[in-house]
């Protein structure tokens, strides 16, 4: 069955985005307790490219499948988890990249490089890192994993913020009733 990417983010209502989020069936990684641990020999580069044994993974379906098995523990280590084994995966910056952003109702919706949608808010906060010269913005995705907001998506977010008077609010923007800073 061929993969059908989700529709363009800006064309969706908040209810439609929420429905797409609800339809995404993820493996129940939290309930698995594999006994075997090892190394996956995989890494996720800062630009979001996935590698296995030094070669890029070119099949997007594989990347989407692996992304559903990711979790990050409190010590910062990322893991690929199956019912049978738990394998380390090196992550240079963030496990995901936010590649699109739109205002939908009272929420900010993001599309990830894996075609997942995430709605920023209390359950998926935005986090600012870096400094004034090199700011970095991250979105909590799931299981401790984050998405780095890429440059073009940050520009989209800044346009939304400017239109809503964020400059007068100290560069803050709200999503689902939660206020987030856009600059460190």
Q: What does the pLDDT profile of the chain (184 residues) look like in tens digits?
A: 566 777 777 787 888 888 888 778 889 999 999 999 999 999 999 999 999 999 999 999 999 999 999 999 999 999 999 999 999 999 999 999 999 999 999 999 999 999 999 999 999 999 999 887 888 999 999 999 999 999 999 999 999 999 998 777 788 999 999 999 988 8
**What's the pLDDT score for residue 161?**
92
Interstrand relation of 55-56 and 145-149 (parallel, antiparallel or unpaired): unpaired
Task: Please report which residue ranges of the chain form alpha helices under DSSP H.
Answer: 14-23, 60-67, 151-163
**What's the pLDDT score for residue 127?**
97
**What's the pLDDT score for residue 2?**
65
Q: Is the pTM of this model over 0.85?
A: yes
What is the total residue count of the chain? 184
Q: From CA 118, how far away is CA 50, in angstroms rounded?
A: 20
**What's the pLDDT score for residue 165?**
87
Q: From CA 110, how far away is CA 160, in angstroms rounded?
A: 13
**What's the pLDDT score for residue 65?**
94
**What's the pLDDT score for residue 131?**
86
**What's the pLDDT score for residue 67?**
96
Please name the residue that has the structure tokens 């490089």: 113
**What's the pLDDT score for residue 81?**
97
**Taking a C-beta distance cutoff of 8 angstroms, is the pair 20, 12 a contact?**
yes
């Amino acid at each position: 069955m061929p993969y059908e990417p989700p529709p363009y983010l800006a064309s969706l209502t908040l209810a439609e985005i929420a429905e797409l989020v609800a339809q995404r069936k993820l493996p129940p990684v939290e309930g698995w307790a594999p006994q075997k641990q090892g190394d996956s020999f995989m890494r996720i580069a800062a630009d979001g490219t996935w590698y296995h044994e030094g070669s890029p993974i070119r099949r997007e379906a594989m990347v989407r499948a692996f992304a559903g098995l990711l979790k990050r523990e409190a010590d910062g280590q990322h893991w690929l988890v199956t019912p049978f084994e738990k394998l380390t995966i090196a992550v240079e910056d963030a496990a995901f990249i936010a590649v699109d952003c739109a205002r939908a109702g009272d929420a900010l919706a993001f599309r990830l490089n894996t075609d997942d949608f995430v709605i920023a808010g209390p359950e998926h906060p935005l986090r600012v890192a870096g400094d004034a010269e090199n700011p970095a913005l991250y979105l909590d995705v799931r299981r401790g994993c984050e998405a780095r907001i890429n440059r073009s998506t940050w520009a989209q977010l800044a346009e939304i913020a400017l239109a809503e008077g964020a400059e007068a609010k100290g560069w803050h923007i709200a999503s689902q009733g939660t206020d987030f800073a856009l600059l460190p």
